[in-house]
């Protein structure tokens, strides 16, 4: 024998709600379909129905907006069996959601997308949002109950307005990297690419692939013309890497350069490489003069001009101890002249 009960209703919480309960011995199924659900007004009601705190309650607390549509199905194979055998599934869409994250002082606007849920977690897809003047799209997020609904995957296409970046510096956990990026003053331009954060055991790996970067800014005492273009930035196993970037610095060009920093207890070690670069000695002197560590190496040089055409360049060592760097270079010098003060001894 079986029993089926259906009901439709409207309220201040939702524009339309349809509920169907089916019982066919020994199992039962409950289905819910709703449209235009007000998140703020619904949270208290859902918490009461759940008999306490909701999953991911910290996230829900800072949400407001409307869930366009949602559909849930709860299947109980045998109503006399433990709740662990209950199968839950659902899907829905949302738009114009506002999310604030007070712990990191972050506000997300115009959040939209779709989601599916089951016993293994919640998956969001086609997510788009605005953060200041910047925008993300084609986003995906996976939340796992086994990790207390912490994300196991976050990815998105992004278009950043680089003037927003100073307001996000507090999100960078490493103090050295945060302080160094803070030296980029008045950044202007845009960056497009893809971001991915993936859980790996108890930690996360992060990769940012920048396809197009147009940056104008003031940085230390670098030459005024400072442009960066496409490349891949990643953070994995305490190594921060900038791979296959291209840049223009004053009259110098670096069509293919890479940097790798080890930041376990601070950026103690680094490696750098470049191919096909043209380095103007005036620009090089300004760069070396921007860092206290390298400034000491050139303090007796009073004049430098000319260019070096570099086939390949590689150097590595402790970042704060340039006297310990190892250097390998294959280059041709073009009309170079260097003058220095008389050295002691």
Higher pLDDT among residues 70 and 138, named by residue: 138
Arithmetic mean of pLDDT over the chain: 80
The pLDDT, as a whole number, for residue 69 is 87
- Calculate mean pLDDT across residues 227-252: 79
Chain segment 175-226, per-residue pLDDT in tens? 766 777 788 888 888 989 888 988 887 777 788 888 787 877 777 767 666 7
Virtual torsion, Cα 314, 267, 151, 13, nearest 10 deg: -120
Upstream peptide bond of 26 is cis (omega within 30 degrees of 0): yes
Question: Which two three-digit tokens encode residue 83?
Answer: 């709740």
Q: Which of 7-16, 202-211, 272-281 has the lowest mean pLDDT?
A: 7-16
Other C-beta atoms lying within 10 Å of the C-beta of residue 175: 10
From CA 135, how far away is CA 126, in angstroms rounded? 13
Question: Which two three-digit tokens encode residue 247?
Answer: 């840049």
- The answer on pLDDT for 1 being more than 60 is no
∠ CA 183-188-190, rounded to 5°: 115
CB 1 within 8 A of CB 23: no
The pLDDT, as a whole number, for residue 111 is 93
∠ CA 28-30-32, rounded to 5°: 170
Higher pLDDT among residues 121 and 202, named by residue: 121
From CA 34, how far away is CA 322, in angstroms rounded? 64
- Calculate mean pLDDT across residues 160-166: 90
Q: Which of 64-73, 258-267, 297-306 has the lowest mean pLDDT?
A: 258-267
The pLDDT, as a whole number, for residue 182 is 81
- In SS3 terms, 234-283 reads as EEECCEEEEEEEEEEECCEEEEEEEEEEECCCCCCEEEEEEEEEEEEHHH
Higher pLDDT among residues 211 and 161, named by residue: 161
Residue 244 backbone phi and psi in degrees, to 5: 60, 45
pTM score, two decimals?
0.71
Question: Which two three-digit tokens encode residue 299?
Answer: 């303090």
CB 72 within 8 A of CB 21: no
- Please report which residue ranges of 51-141 form alpha helices under DSSP H: 57-60
- The answer on pLDDT for 295 being more than 70 is yes
From CA 4, how far away is CA 31, in angstroms rounded? 11
- The answer on pLDDT for 90 being more than 70 is yes
From CA 188, how far away is CA 138, in angstroms rounded? 25
The pLDDT, as a whole number, for residue 345 is 42
From CA 209, how far away is CA 269, in angstroms rounded? 23
From CA 43, how far away is CA 51, in angstroms rounded? 12
- Calculate mean pLDDT across residues 72-85: 73
Upstream peptide bond of 161 is cis (omega within 30 degrees of 0): no
Q: List Cα–Cα distances, 122 to 87, 145, 299, in angstroms.
A: 14, 8, 59
């Amino acid at each position: 024998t079986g029993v089926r009960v259906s009901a439709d209703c409207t309220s201040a919480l939702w524009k339309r709600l349809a509920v169907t309960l089916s019982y066919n011995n020994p199992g039962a199924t409950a289905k819910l379909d709703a449209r235009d659900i007000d998140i703020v007004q619904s949270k208290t009601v859902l918490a009461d129905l759940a008999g306490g705190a909701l999953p991911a309650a910290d996230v829900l607390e800072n949400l407001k907006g409307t869930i366009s549509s949602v559909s849930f199905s709860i299947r109980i194979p045998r109503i006399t069996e433990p709740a662990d055998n209950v199968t839950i599934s659902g899907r829905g869409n949302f738009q114009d959601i506002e999310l604030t994250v007070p712990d990191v002082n972050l506000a997300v606007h115009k959040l939209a997308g779709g989601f599916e849920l089951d016993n293994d977690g919640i998956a969001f897809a086609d997510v788009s949002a605005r953060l200041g003047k910047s925008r993300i799209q084609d986003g995906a997020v996976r939340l796992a109950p086994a990790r207390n609904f912490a994300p196991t995957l976050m990815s998105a296409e992004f278009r950043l307005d680089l003037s927003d970046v100073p307001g996000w510096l507090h999100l960078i956990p490493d103090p050295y990297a945060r302080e160094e990026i803070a030296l980029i003053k008045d950044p202007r331009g845009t960056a497009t690419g893809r971001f991915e954060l993936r859980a790996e055991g108890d930690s996360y790996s992060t990769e940012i692939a920048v396809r197009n970067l147009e940056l104008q800014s003031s940085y230390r005492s670098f030459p005024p013309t400072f442009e960066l273009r496409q490349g891949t930035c990643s953070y994995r196993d305490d190594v921060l890497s900038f791979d296959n970037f291209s840049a223009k610095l004053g009259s110098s060009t670096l069509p293919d350069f890479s940097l790798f920093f080890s930041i376990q207890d601070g950026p103690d070690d680094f490696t750098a490489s470049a191919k096909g670069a043209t380095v103007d000695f005036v620009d090089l002197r300004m760069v070396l003069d921007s860092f206290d560590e390298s400034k000491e190496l050139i303090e007796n040089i009073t004049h430098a001009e000319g260019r070096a055409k570099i086939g390949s360049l590689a150097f590595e060592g402790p970042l704060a101890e340039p006297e310990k760097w190892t250097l390998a270079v294959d280059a041709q010098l073009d009309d170079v002249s260097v003058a220095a003060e008389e050295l002691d001894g």
